[in-house]
A and B are shown apart, each in its own frame.
Chain A
Amino acid sequence: MGRPQMAWLQRDPAWAARMKAAEQDEGVGWSTLVGLADADLDLLQTERLDRLLRRRFPEPPEGLATRPVRLALLGSSTTTHLQPGIRTGALRRGLFVTTFEPDYGQFQQELLDPASALHRFRPDVVLFAFDARHLAGGLDAAAGEAEAEAALEAALARLAGLWRLARERLGAAVVQQTGLPVLAPLLGSNEHALPGSALALLTRLNDGMRRAAAAEGVALLAVDTQAARDGIGAWHDPVLWHRGKQEISPAAAPLYGDLLARLLAALQGRSAKCLVLDLDNTLWGGVIGDDGVEGIALGQGSALGEAFVAFQDYARSLARRGVILAVCSKNDEANARAPFERHPEMRLALSDIASFVANWNDKPANIRAIAQELNIGLDSLVFVDDNPFERALVRRELPMVAVPELPDEPALYADCVAAAGYFEAIAVTAEDRARGAQYQANRERAALAGAATDLESYLRSLEMRLLWRRFDRIGLARIVQLINKTNQFNLTTRRYDEAEVVRVMEDPRAFGLQLRLLDRFGDNGIIAIVIGRLAEDGDLVIDTWLMSCRVLGRQVEEATLDLVAAEARRLGAARLVGEYRPTERNAMVAGHYEKLGFTPIAVDPGGAARYALDLAAIAPRTSCMTIAEG
């Protein structure tokens, strides 16, 4: 049986190399170790990172933003194998944990004896981790209801007594692990009908624990519900139980540690507070700027549309329980707001969004602005975006922001965000429920902090390759589709059918370029189209220039200009003439030619503008990508 996955965390192929570099660096820093923990680690990787952590930091590092935690692990069976996962899960959240385990089976004596090693350890948090047999054993299968009821009451009273001892004698917060349902059923689906069933007793005990824990202010570590999601076989291996009394399989130890670390963070008030949402292909299917309110996939009974509705429902429910929502989208603001204002299937309303940022700045800068506007720390933000480029950029520039590895399938978005446990809370206050209302007025956006992110080196790290080809039959369908669908990054919005595109291919005084962009995340496909034609006066007029917004901010425009210039030279032109024809949707490229160094030469009454650039004025430049024909 495979280990339970932590799918929201990255799987970094370079992890082993990074780990090795850290092991060889005597002065390796805390933040490097936190970065290494931020990955979907298996058991051996977890143990390896934990060895380095303990060697490098036998004591908590100076100046930590979090309070170090002294955790006593009081179990009824083997728990030693859980410690590396606990320390590593805590490290993932920037927490330093020192663990303590009393001698095997000695926890009750240690709790009572003020001179014991447990008392000397002075724990901040006590975790009671009891196996199913310890919790529910000792009942005869033939026992009647009264006997079972007495066993249940006695077990709950024993737990309440332990909780009180830990709180009163040790002054520690208490975490109680629920019983893992590893016992074999005797009846089956109707197990509850057999009072003497140990499994039935365990189920009742877990219910009773939930009621009592809420009343006593004890935090539960619900391994039973987690195992119900992952499958009990992922959490428990009967062979290992018999081999070394490990009830929780070591394969599940990394996830177990993460679950516990969430509680430790929540006890310090360090759970995330704000969910920052991308829009296109995150809250709805498609690109609002190109597809329009009528064209996006949202609801309407299609599986894709319904999946986005479900994710919006989840976000809305989080908001109802006190999580702040924000929007961070690369879009014109009016386009970004349109579905919120006009789409009948939107579950989220503008009033649910505490901070709404839609512009063409890079996302790290916008996320900083959101944190500033809401006056919360960057480390309390979770950023959800379907685009791996944006996720990698935010992780790189803002490592303190949590960025889940969103699956390709929108139907899995809610599960992914939920499974990560970013918003773990132990209880819900009236203030939490009111928080949504506090943010109802969407604040005026403060001017964006002039964030200096080193974009250049990031772009280089993407290993981008721009492949260009002249128009050909193979690309024809995609070329026609892009010409007719692209609205935002489209200088002239001229629509051509297949026959017209073929004429460009056959015209010796014209060229058509199709550009494909690849990077280390994969192939972005055909992302830009340019059509140029030599005029009678010797100017090369750029008839069409369009690009997918997905690759904005990656200096594709500059590289494209160089390719256009090369084609113009081939045709014998002396200068380039570009044209901008404004539409309702292409305001984002109004300054396109001026940004590239063109000079305005004419504006007609309809607002169309023409720009010129001497070919001789284009200096060779270095590019962040390799450019090749192919």
Chain B
Amino acid sequence: MTETEILAELTDVLREAFGDDALTVTPETTAKDVPGWDSIRMVSILIAVEDRFGIKTRSREIDRLRSVGDFVALIRAKQEAA
């Protein structure tokens, strides 16, 4: 998948997670920009992402994420390694 495709799919997951079909994110978006994106919501998002993209993430990889762009890059790297 290209980064654009991953971002589109990730946006779908985020829209579902926040129950907001109008939600748009860019690579620069951070959790602070999205109301309700706390650590508990992040777990739901991670589980959905792992399910949807067929990957498994590690704690330290998640702790390093700073933005949606980092998230997309991580998903892409995981998919390529698989």
Contacts and interface: CB of A to CB of B under 8 A. Distances in A.
B2 interface: no
A246 B42 CA distance: 13
For chain B, which range describes its interface: under 10, 10 to 19, 20 to 34, or 35 or more residues? Answer: 10 to 19
A243 B17 CA distance: 19
B43 interface: yes
A242 interface: yes
Interface stretch (A38-46, A211-219, A394-402, A477-485): A38-46
Contact of B47 (A48, A242, A244, A250): A250
B52 to A, nearest CB: 9
B8 interface: no
A48 B19 contact: yes
A47 interface: yes
Interface residues of A, number: 23
A47 B43 contact: no
A68 B57 CA distance: 40
Contacts of A250: 43-44, 47
Nearest to A246: B43
A239 interface: yes
B4 interface: no
Interface string A463-493: 0000000000000000000000000000000
Contact of A243 (B13, B21, B43, B56): B43
A234 to B, nearest CB: 12
Interface in B18-45: 19, 21, 39-40, 43-44
Interface of B is mostly: helix
Interface string A32-69: 00000000001111011001000000000000000000
Interface in B28-82: 39-40, 43-44, 47-48, 51, 56, 58-59
B3 interface: no
B55 to A, nearest CB: 12
A239 B59 contact: yes
A445 interface: no
B16 A48 contact: yes
A42 B48 contact: yes
Nearest to B43: A250
Contact of B43 (A1, A3, A45, A81): A81
B37 to A, nearest CB: 14
A606 interface: no
A560 interface: no
A80 interface: yes
A251 B59 contact: no
Nearest to A45: B16
B58 A47 contact: no
B40 A80 contact: yes
Contact of B48 (A43, A240, A244, A249): A43
B39 A47 contact: no
A620 interface: no
Contacts of A239: 58-59
Contacts of A44: 13, 16-17, 44, 48
Contact of A244 (B17, B43, B51): B43
A3 B21 contact: no
A522 interface: no
Contacts of B39: 243-244
Contacts of A48: 16, 19
Contacts of A246: 43
Given A48-B19, A51-B19, A244 B40 contact: yes
Interface in A1-52: 1-3, 20, 23, 42-45, 47-48, 51
A3 B51 contact: yes
Nearest to A78: B40
B43 A20 contact: no
A104 to B, nearest CB: 13
Interface in A401-441: none
Contacts of B21: 20
Contacts of A81: 40, 43-44
Contacts of A244: 39-40, 43
B31 to A, nearest CB: 15
B45 to A, nearest CB: 8
Interface in A120-149: none
13 contacts: A3-B47, A43-B47, A44-B13, A47-B19, A47-B44, A48-B16, A239-B59, A242-B59, A243-B39, A244-B40, A244-B43, A246-B43, A249-B47
Interface of A: 1-3, 20, 23, 42-45, 47-48, 51, 80-81, 239-240, 242-244, 246, 249-251
* In the complex, the 10 A-B pairs of residues with the closest C-beta atoms, listed nearest first: A44-B16, A251-B47, A44-B48, A239-B59, A48-B19, A250-B47, A51-B19, A44-B17, A250-B43, A43-B44
